[in-house]
Structure 1
Amino acid sequence: MKRVVVLISGAGRNLQALVDAERDGRLPRCLAGVISSRADAAGLQRASAAGLPAQVITPGVFADRAAFDAALVRQIDAWRADWVVLAGFMRILTPGFTAHYAGRLLNIHPSLLPRHPGLRTHAAVRAAGDTQHGATVHFVTEALDGGPRIIQGALMVRPEDTDETLAERVMVDVEQRIYPQAVAWAVNGRLAVQGAHVAALDGQALHQPLSLDDLEAGF
């Protein structure tokens, strides 16, 4: 059985979506541990409630990013992770870290990449006057939010939307659906990277990311 370690920094709502998917059988039993970059992250309570081992590794106690990432690697590898899943992990990872887990490191980003990489995406969508918004699951490379895209979910931006309402709608209607699906594909051996720049599902290159229409029953 494949083993997944989840990295968080905050509320852990995508972690909870994975826990729920594992509990109801949509996701095989695979969650092996949780690492938080913050000791006060509410997601740690979710990990505890799910019976998952959890560790706090805070960057402030390390001399530099490389030393912090090395500590992450030691814990992840101690848990024998096959896949590493970033779920609101608010740290930029070093090239050494992304290379160590190349092809088995996933992230979910709250925008329709390649539009709006980085932070404050909901505000960026409104400022740009975009009619659509959403989230993207992608493989992680050293390029910030630039790895091969796997699946996106989109929704229409409403005139009355605020940053907060957009964030909530994207989380509930998109993120918590597409991330468990992508992780299920990964641990079931169906997801990979072809070459350096293209994700593949069941051996078929994804030159464009999949969509909500490609979700399997239950997701």
Structure 2
Amino acid sequence: MNIASVIIYCFIVTFTPGPTNIVILSTVHNFGVKKALEYTYGATIAFGALLIISAMLNTALITVIPKILIVMQTIGSIYMLYLAYQIYKMDSSDSNGTKDGTFMSGFTMQFLNPKVVLFTMTVFPNFILPYYTSMSVLTISALVITIIGFLAFITWVLFGAIFKSFLQKHEKMVNVIMTLFLVYAAIMIWM
């Protein structure tokens, strides 16, 4: 297992702008850090729950249909390349805010967020299940990835509070760097 690839993939997908991160940023500016943190806690719990569900579903698929791995690797790689393209062409100036920053809105958003759902359904078959299937390793992996997600959300809260104008000024350069890292992670699935 290439741990560097899985860590890079997790960091890039969770730290790059997406619906949850943009809502967190907007919540900080509209309602303050305290509301953004409340939203973040809900998003983190849902993210962990989605990872656990994904680990169980993917383990069942791998056990029942071993040939599905190549399909999941292909889907995961294509999705990562799609994300790289989306990040490259991204313009965060058209993001919308949320009317509230509650725990429940953060929790619910994760189940409706295609970026999160696709990420949780691809990280296990692409990076972990080809090498490990024991429940303890899957549980530890889900916990570690959830912590990475939480760190990403907290980072967006801090970015919203401190670095918003700087990031907007250098948005294209940041997007290009994140795109290149995501393309690297997609390529590493096949090695």
TM normalised by structure 1 equals 0.30
- Bigger fraction of residues in helix: 2
Of structures 1 and 2, the one with the larger relative CO (CA 8 A, separation 6+) is 2
**What is the TM-score of this pair, normalised by structure 2?**
0.33
**Normalized per residue, which structure has more strand?**
1
